[in-house]
Structure 1
């Protein structure tokens, strides 16, 4: 790598992007100016650009230059063009030393042609030399540059605004972290990666510009990640490898996540775009602390110390709850699953979430009066509104609703209380269920298969899909249930009674 630089200050995505420089080729293309390059590296091949215009007839303009200027001169300070070789060599050297981007020489009224020694010096030091024709005023050149600067700045602001909107839209998707990375990589025209606190790569997007980029960015991410080093880690770090520009950013929240990016080109607004992504990813991966967290913490402590659920419920702000079970496509990676679960909880407006990566399951508690809608990328099952003391039964309802949703490929299935089931006291229903289902010997496999099969109207294929087993296994289990129960499962009255027992007995 060519050398790492670090930045201790945090990223400021709200700051406007810096003004893009004007390519020298854009000035040369202006027919109204009639400029012509007569020395120095070709503007098209070198990518030379100017940031502003300065006019000076000083013999040594160095003290008055900031860098990036197109310096305009009529050569008033050149009194002997034929014998000024050493003088003009020093003159051009000082312009290059000051960071000047190009030199414009006005032909007439002082000199009829550009001094040959000046052309030689510009070729020697690699400074683009432009001939300004008599009809073109220096003020006209300056005005053209400012026009081009304004156009470039407007275009860059438009690009940054569109990128910000795209990133915000990506953050609202069901897979927000991968979506934000894909959007960022596309906007930068490069590659982006999210690193876990232990340095593992969680997600990547885009195409690495050159060989070795991935490892180089990963190494750079270690610079911004706290790792037992003394003092605070920098907020960002930059480097380059094989002509590609690399950068790493520490995400907020103090969890140790880091963002790495790589691109062949670095535009003025790229830092602003990346800053927006840093903020969004920090929100998606960070742990948010606040009053709501304090209340949930107090409720947990009271439960662990023996308080009844009904006594703790008022702390959470609702008398009735809906239990939600959801399954997405995050897989069983703990970090990715946790991030996806947090995004789902935010979309549903709940801070009470349990992410079980091993079961690829997310469980949430929603106040019963809160509207529940399907979420893109998720399959959801929801219980009926339930008092705090009956949440275990509601959990079972949500589980069955999720299984039904998966079997029917519905985005959202709700448990509904209806018919005679609502007329029987829960305790009596549970007692009846225990007696009726006793012949099954408490076999979870048989009980769950029979429940799912009945809920899907005796469909072997959909039951197999919901349980994740072969359809022949479903047939064998259902046949075994019929034998143990001594029941004709083709009889609708038998099915109704068994369904009542199975739905009441959990």
Structure 2
């Protein structure tokens, strides 16, 4: 299942800390840790959002009954755990302190003498990056399984099975007519629900014309997504689970809908390669990549969108739309006719296509016209001359432009970070404090890794 895969648990953090956190009391291994906070205040609760691992050298502690109020305050503010650094004020937890923590439900750890609190913070950051990477790999695997299901002999049952297994629930295909296949539900053990699901789709989706509809079905939260083909509703994909669908679940559902749209289209409507192009141009990037992997289609990470007439030799990775042929070119490909966009990441192909279409319609029809490079490409070119500046800008934007956190990520002093960021702004000619600049540059840096 794809939910909660990017959130670090207390057990995972203890393991990642590699001895920097030693448990004193029993702790809930699945407890979610939202961050690491260091405070020597007697009442730090007002600065906590809940779920943090609080680190202290024990300055607020007395070793007497007054420590009970400190522990109670932490419990009231839902602290994820408490870490006591040894060696400065205390060589071991104060008498009775561990029992007070256990009674209040606050997990107590010690940070051994000589281990910096920064080691714990870095362990959490490393863990978060690893979880994000692993979640991405699992999501990619789930998208690939969907694409493989779509290319099989019975794609609709296979797609329903793949999405049901990915979200840990059930999935149903409800066709608009008998020409769109038979209604089905996976797993088969729940097939008795199908008549009620069909009725719910009829009541909540077909009659309303909504882009999606939610309803309760047999104790599950169900979401129905319409599958549109040729301007009509060919059917609906319904996904149910005992919990609300996560963002990753919904992205996977959109991929499944896009693939169902492909298999529900009239026979001969498009080849698999054309469907890859069509999905990418429609903004269904995950589905396009998954189908390309399953079908052995080479799909560039960075593309140019070329717009020409429908006559002539078609580009293999292209689709016809409103009397125009839209093709996805590698950034180094050359077009001798039509309009060509500037290089963009694949997920920006729809916007690039819109610009290329406007350019094509305004051209005089002689030769090829090419869109001028976007300003972000010029910024990246300026940073390419110094990998250190590029890494500094990426880390700085990743840390929401917090100097201290950027310095920790890069393993340098914060003054070095200031110097590198200032140098990067000089070569780019724009300030990172401009939110539009920061947003454009961050997206470009993420796809250009």
The structure whose RCO (Cα within 8 Å, separation 6+) is larger is: 1
| Bigger CA radius of gyration | 1
